[in-house]
Amino acid sequence: MPLTALALALGAAFFHASWNTLLARARDIGAFTAVALVVGWCVVVPVALLTWQLDAVAIPFVLAGGLLQVAYYGLLAAAYQRADMSLVYPLARGLAPVIVLGLAIAVVGLRPTLPEALAVFLVAAGVLFVRGLGRPGGATAATRAGTGRQGDQGRGALLAICVAFTIAGYTVIDQQGLRHASPFAYLLIEQTIPTVAYAGVLIWRRGPAPLRAA
């Protein structure tokens, strides 16, 4: 792997872990998610406009990825409302690479070498091992913080598995779609869908007050 790609991958992993930590600790996970989506979208806009390139063939991939992102954010928020990050995050991120590999083989026709396949399974096993699937989850971070949300580790685990499938789905789709668009233009259009959907539904159901409070 080129050093630039490795650096970007490590940076993305750090950013993603930080985002999940903040989300899991938020008092109002739904409102925090909506605000984070809006802020992230605003940050991407100028860079996307400066580097704009989006072929028409990329549009189906962008739309499909955006819809999966809607499911991803909704399921992730629901999982953190029910279970601790120490259960949700390793389960979702540990299973996702294995599912990506399966989808890439079945849908894209990828033919990984044996070392590549073993590497994916070892990384996934390592992430899950750190968590310990047999260890009880205990109280959620939200409950410990005094937010009043009750932990439900079983449902949280099921939602985390669903999150893993959405991650795998949009990863495979984006890998194909980004062949026909610049990264930030693609990201802007794709993230517009969950941003509008998530923030719009939240405002419709609860009004704008939760967004201001978050």
Position 212 confidence tier, pLDDT thresholds 50, 70, 90:
confident
37-84 confidence digits (pLDDT tens): 999 999 999 999 999 999 999 999 999 999 999 999 999 999 999 888
The predicted model scores a pTM of 0.82
Tokens 């409070």 belong to residue: 213
In a domain, 18, yes or no: no
In a domain, 64, yes or no: yes
Percentage of residues in the chain having pLDDT higher than 70: 85
154-177 confidence digits (pLDDT tens): 888 899 999 999 999 999 999 999
Tokens 């999966």 belong to residue: 68
Percentage of residues in the chain having pLDDT higher than 90: 45
In a domain, 41, yes or no: yes
In a domain, 42, yes or no: yes
Convert the chain into a string of H (helix), E (strand) and C (coil). CCHHHHHHHHHHHHHHHHHHHHHHHCCCHHHHHHHHHHHHHHHHHHHHHHCCCECHHHHHHHHHHHHHHHHHHHHHHHHHHHCCHHHHHHHHHHHHHHHHHHHHHHHHCCCCCHHHHHHHHHHHHHHHHHHCCCCCCCCCHHHHCCCCCCCCHHHHHHHHHHHHHHHHHHHHHHHHHHHHECHHHHHHHHHHHHHHHHHHHHHHHHCCHHHHHC
Structure tokens at 48: 């996307």
In a domain, 139, yes or no: no
**Residue 113 pLDDT > 60, yes or no?**
yes
In a domain, 7, yes or no: no
Question: What distance in Å separates the CA atoms of residue 193 and residue 70, rounded to the nearest whole number?
Answer: 7
Position 214 confidence tier, pLDDT thresholds 50, 70, 90:
low
Position 140 confidence tier, pLDDT thresholds 50, 70, 90:
very low
In a domain, 115, yes or no: yes
Structurally, the chain folds into a number of domains equal to: 1
Position 102 confidence tier, pLDDT thresholds 50, 70, 90:
confident
In a domain, 22, yes or no: no
Position 94 confidence tier, pLDDT thresholds 50, 70, 90:
confident
Q: Which of 139, 159, 30 is nearest to 91 (CA)?
A: 159
Q: Which of 81, 88, 96, 87 is nearest to 31 (CA)?
A: 81
Question: What distance in Å separates the CA atoms of residue 190 and residue 48, rounded to the nearest whole number?
Answer: 12
Domain that holds residue 203: 28-133+149-213
